[in-house]
Structures are given as structure tokens and as C-alpha cells.
Structure 1
Amino acid sequence: MSSAQRHTLGGTSGAAQGEPDWSQISETLAMLALAIAQIDTSLQEGNQSVNQLTENFTAMANNTHKILELSQDSDGDNHSQISGIAGEINGEIQQAVIAFQFYDRLTQRLEHVGDSLERMGHLMNDAKQRYQIESWRSLQDHIKGNYTMEAERIMFEHIMAGHSVAEALEIYHHHFEQGEEESFGTDDEIELF
């Protein structure tokens, strides 16, 4: 979907010949448009806060490095205390950066959800396409192609196969927790954005 088409979904459907002006499709489109608008405003507000926090944590990380450099010039007791405090601050900053990375993943997911809802709304709004199985499969392929985690793809497959949301979430959480153990238990250096 081009950026010009983003946020163009409205609450009215393109009624096909013989269809009434009011329908559950029009009501669904209105609710989809509302959901998209709520997702978008939440993302914008969240991004403003996170951008400020990122600037603050970047400044704190820089100051921590300065403290560590200054501690090299101090005598024994002061050096040890300053190094210990700076090390603790640095560790806390690293944990905050990991939390920011999770937030970044959350915002990407919500952006994909908003995009998918809008694409579905446009498909439902097109009287010629809404009953075409190929159009729906194309939409589903697009949605599945946006997933970056295997756990998300597995959840998608279960939902598309007719499993309940509860079953799909249980499978997702199981796979997500396995992936978390495999990838986040490292001692890799974390860089600020």
C-alpha cells in the first residue's frame, strides 16, 4: 500500500449493484477505520516519549563513559568506588536499552496490524474484490510476509487453520519463550540505536 493510500479508509463501502447502502460491511469499515486511527495515535504518542527517553539514556551513557575515564585518574579507593558506581549505571542503561528494543518491536507490530487492517478494509470496500478468494489469499500472504518472528508465523498459521485465539496464543507464547531463551541469553554488547 502506498503512503498516499495510507489512512484513506472510511466507514462507507462501495456498494455493488443491488446491495443496500447500509450494511454490516459499512459498519465493519467504520470500526476498522477507528481501530487504525487509535493504533496510529497511540504509536505517535508512544514514539514521542520514547524519543525523549532515548536522548536521556544516550546522554547518561556518555556521562557514564566520562566517569569511567575520570576514575582512571583517581587514587585507589576513589577509583574503585567510582568504577563500581559507573559499572552499575552502565548495566542499568544496558537493561533500559533492551526494554527500548522490545518497545521498538512492539511499535513495528502495531504498525503492521494497522497496515493489515487498512488493507483488509480497502479489500472489503471494493465490491468487485471482496468476494474474490484470490484477493483474500493475497492479503493473507502480505500479512504473513510482514512477520519477522517464527512464533508470529506459527500463530498466523493456527488462526488461519481455524484454531481459537486462545490456542494460537498458547502456541505463540510457547515458541516465543523458546526463542527468547535462545537469543537473549547472550552477553553481546548492546548499542544505543
Structure 2
Amino acid sequence: MSGKGEMGMSMHNNLPSTATQPDLDWSQVRETVRMLNLAVAQIEVAMREGDDSVETLTNSFTSMIESSSSIVQAVERLQNTGKDEGLIAEVEKESSLISEKMQAGVIAFQFYDKLSQRLAHVSHALAALSELVEDGSRIFNPNEWIGLQTKIRSKYNMREEQAMFDSLLEGKTVDEVLANGVGITHEPDNDIELF
């Protein structure tokens, strides 16, 4: 056997060296990139599954909104006849409860939307980090790291994300940031839109 490349290729069927089967070409950088790519893949799968569920819920809410609207129209017709006042009051009450539950559901969707945005940002940041770490010509260049940090922060459109990013880059630990509530959304948006 003439060289490490040939030995590595013949022993591992042309696969790159891994931590479970290291050879002279083994690299902790490559292992780091694999773990980053795994995290990106897991986030992407979770987001796709979540999107499917949200689409189903959205369709259900749209249908409930249409039904609620039909109930309101029926109550208006009943009111015009002046009959069954007790029944009219009960239908109005139930319609109001449906509307309240839909509002609560919409607020939950808003939180899911923020979760989805955060996961997308994490996924993009990990992918960009993976590319930087994998590139031997960039990994030791401080300007490349500054560029990466600038690129990541520019993707953050929520104040909470920006505050968390800034706090962590200032040197605070994750525990300190979370203990102070930095990056945590406390209240839903007040501008609720029904589909």
C-alpha cells in the first residue's frame, strides 16, 4: 500500500474517515460538520411536520369561521321572525364561545409562526456555520466569522432574537440569557387576523 489515501479508501470503500473508523485522514472538523448537518436536518424535518399540522388546523379554522358566520346569519333571520327568543339567546351564546376559541387558536398560530421562524433561523445559521467550519481557507479568518455573525443577525426580524444574539455575543452564558428572559416572547401580538 503506497499511501494513506489509498489505505483509507481501500479499508473504507471510498468513504471518508469517521470517528467510528478513523484513519490518518480523520478530522474533528469533519465530525463537527456532520453533527451540524444532523441538527439542520432534524430542524428541517420538524418544521415540515409542523407545517403539515398547521395546514390541517388552518383548514379546520377556516371551516369553523364559515360555520360561525352561517350561525350568525341564521340568528339574524330568527330575530326577524320574533320566535323562539330562548333558542336565539342560546345560539348567540354558543356562537360567541366559538368565536372566542377561534381567537385563542389564532393566537396559538402566531406563537407557532414565531417558533417556525426561529427554527428556520437556527437552521440557516447552522448551515452557514457548517460551511465556514468546513472551509479550511475561511475557518481561521476573523473577518469570515464577523461576516457570519453579521449575516446571521441580519436574518433576525424579531426583537427577542436580536436581544438574545447580542447578549450571547457580549459573552453572557445561555443560562444567564434565559434566566433574564432575554429572547423570550411574553405576549402575543395584538393584531390578530382571521384568515
Q: After the TM superposition, which residues 107-122 of structure 1 pair with which residues of structure 2 at under 5 Å, given as runs?
A: 107-122=116-131
Alignment-derived partner of residue 193 in structure 2: 191
Check the 8 A contact 1:152/1:172 in 2, yes or no. no
Is 1:152 matched up with 2:156? no
- CA offsets, 1:110-150, max 9 Å, x none? 01100110001001111111111111111111111122222
1:42 CA drift (Å): 0.7
Query: 2 CA distance for matches of 1:109 and 1:143?
Result: 12
Alignment-derived partner of residue 73 in structure 2: 69
* Structure 1 unaligned regions, length at least 5: 1-11, 14-19
Check the 8 A contact 2:29/2:133 in 1, yes or no. yes
Query: Normalising to structure 2: TM-score of the pair?
Result: 0.80
- CA offsets, 1:133-190, max 9 Å, x none? 111111111111122222221211111122110111123448743xx2xx64x5x5x2
Query: 1 CA distance for matches of 2:183 and 2:39?
Result: 28
Query: Given the superposition, is the C-alpha separation of residues 92 and 42 from structure 1 closer, same or farther in structure 2, using an over 3 Å criterion?
Result: same
Query: 2 CA distance for matches of 1:36 and 1:110?
Result: 9
Query: Given the superposition, is the C-alpha separation of residues 71 and 57 from structure 1 closer, same or farther in structure 2, using an over 3 Å criterion?
Result: same
Alignment-derived partner of residue 46 in structure 1: 50
Alignment-derived partner of residue 85 in structure 1: 94
Identity %: 37
Q: Which has the higher contact order (CA 8 A, sep 6+)?
A: 1
* Structure 2 unaligned regions, length at least 5: 1-15, 18-23
1:80 CA drift (Å): 1.3
Query: 1 CA distance for matches of 2:27 and 2:173?
Result: 27
Query: 2 CA distance for matches of 1:43 and 1:191?
Result: 22
